[in-house]
Structure 1
Amino acid sequence: MTEFNPSSKELTNSDFTQASKPFELFDEWLEDAKQSEVNDPNALSLASVDPSGLPNVRMVLLKGFDDRGFVFYTNLESAKGQELLSAGKAAMCFHWKSLRRQVRIRGAIVQVEDSEANEYYQSRARGSRIGAWASKQSRPLESRFALEKEVARYTAKFAIGDIPRPDHWSGVRLVPTSIEFWHDRPFRLHDRVLFTRNSDGDDWSKDRLYP
């Protein structure tokens, strides 16, 4: 899997509308964003729906991607986690203002393998691993002090040795069936290219869209 890791790659000036492989094109655009975005070039808006069908959206960080899809991590018992696993589908949007580029992705949601989640969890800062235990994400919190008490409790519990990954904390992969690349052009005559496929493993088809 390609992990998010800033590099010194120069910006590409190639005509993206000629691209035929969406994952390779996304990789190029993310590399460009690492050079131009001040903060979190791997940030994305993630859209899901609750059981009533009402949409929800929030910012998360992409932690890896490859031909299988786009991975981020969360508390599976949170509102986000429950919505994703219940609906089994979601959408993402990356927007890099400095580059005037956007990528929209839609597809199915699957949980990553335990081995993959364990590897990423152990790479996190110790405080972040404690936080995964201490935070009952999305649920009512009576006070900041209550959260700090939970942090202190788990800090004492895991004072020595490794901190195991909680069962409720894992990675989620969006397996795309559509990826749209958008680039700003003068007079709102933007370039848009849409890649689609019916399911994972199928060949991609490509269409150019009116702006």
Structure 2
Amino acid sequence: MDLSEARREYTMGGLRRNDLPDHPESLFEHWLKQAIDAEINDPTAMTIATVDADGQPFQRIVLLKHFDKNGFVFYTNLGSRKAQQLQNNARISLHFPWHMLERQVHVTGIAERVPTHEVLRYFSSRPKESQLAAWASQQSERLSARKLLEAKFVELKMKFENHEVPLPTFWGGFRVNVSSMEFWQGGEHRLHDRFLYTRSDATWDISRLAP
């Protein structure tokens, strides 16, 4: 398979310094709304990268569930590989790949646990099947056969058929406190526009990066 000629031009527009607000969350909100309005697949999907004790990076896709000036929030099993890695090294990277709009957003920061009351509020808002799945799956643990997972799900479904599903003690969330945010807009002839916001106390430094 020859991939050397797999390329295309990026022609949907540029990004200029005068277009940028003082705070990156304002631009992120604008871009996210445009991604949602464009009806692209999974606009809130983000790749999150963590590292293990040996410095080996790991990536996986999760869904963004909330963001504001205080950071980006996602939820997970606290026994999962990503949660265990964040316990040992709270540095994290997020990446939003909005290919259809020829855009990317890259975030770096420090992850901290979300308070239990926030976790409970979100868990209670999930469909019951998703709540049961959280109980059924020992995320990242080795599983000898899918039928064991399915059997556990059915068992729990019967157990809680007429009851509310309680919040598992092993399920929680993380808020990423942002250190930097980079906005990438594709440009013709590979002359892409890249702007990096870097936190400086209560303000943000903005730099243009070469593509």
Q: 1:37, 1:84 → 2: CA distance?
A: 32
Relative CO higher for 1 or 2, CA cutoff 8 Å, sep ≥ 6?
2
Partner of residue 205, structure 1? 205
* Sequence identity (%): 41
How far the C-alpha of 1:167 sits from its partner, in A, is 1.2
Instruction: Please identify, of 158-167 and 116-125, the stretch whose mean Cα deviation from structure 2 is larger.
Output: 158-167
* Aligned residue in 1 for 2:148: 146
Q: Which runs of 5+ in 2 are unaligned?
A: 1-12
Distance 1:80 1:117 in 2: 17
Aligned residue identity for 1:51: A
Alignment TM-score, normalising by the size of structure 2 = 0.89
Aligned residue for 2:203, secondary structure, equals coil
2:179 counterpart SS class? strand
**1:79-158 counterparts in 2 under 5 A?**
79-158=81-160
Aligned residue identity for 1:190:
H
| CA RMSD, Structure 1 to Structure 2 (Å) | 1.5
Is the partner of 1:197 in helix, strand or coil?
A: strand
Query: Which has more radius of gyration?
Result: 2
Match of 1:172 in 2: 174
1-side partners of 2:161 and 2:196: how far apart?
A: 50
In 2, Cα distance between the equivalents of 1:31 and 1:173?
21
Q: Name the residue aligned to 2:183.
A: 181
Using the TM superposition, give the Cα deviation of residue 64 of structure 1 relative to its aligned residue in structure 2, in angstroms: 0.7
Query: 2:35 — aligned with what?
Result: 33
Structure 2 distance, partners of 1:148, 1:14, is 48
Shift of residue 202, structure 1, vs aligned partner: 2.6
* TM-score normalised according to structure 1 size: 0.89
Give the distance between the partners of 1:142 and 1:57, measured in 2 at CA: 23
- Post-superposition offset of 1:85: 2.1
Match of 1:77 in 2: 79
Number of positions where the alignment pairs a residue of Structure 1 with one of Structure 2: 197
- Aligned-pair distance for 1:161? 2.1
> Could you tell me whether the CA contact under 8 Å between 1:107 and 1:174 is conserved in 2?
yes
Structure 1 residue 156 displacement after superposition: 2.8
Residue 32 of structure 1 aligns with an amino acid whose one-letter code is Q
Aligned AA (2:166): P
Q: Deviations over 1:184-206 (max 9, x none)?
A: 111111111111115xx632111
Runs (4+) off by over 3 Å: 13-16
| CA contact 2:14–2:185 (8 Å) conserved in 1 | no
Aligned counterpart, 2:8: none
1:141 aligned counterpart, secondary structure: coil
1:43 alignment counterpart: 45
What is the one-letter code of the residue matched to 1:175? N
- Which has the higher mean CA deviation after the structures are superposed, 103-112 or 28-37? 28-37
Letter in 1 for 2:119: A
CA distance in 2, matches of 1:85, 1:16: 38
- Runs of at least 5 residues in structure 1 that lack an aligned partner in the other structure: 1-12
2:60 paired with 1:58: yes
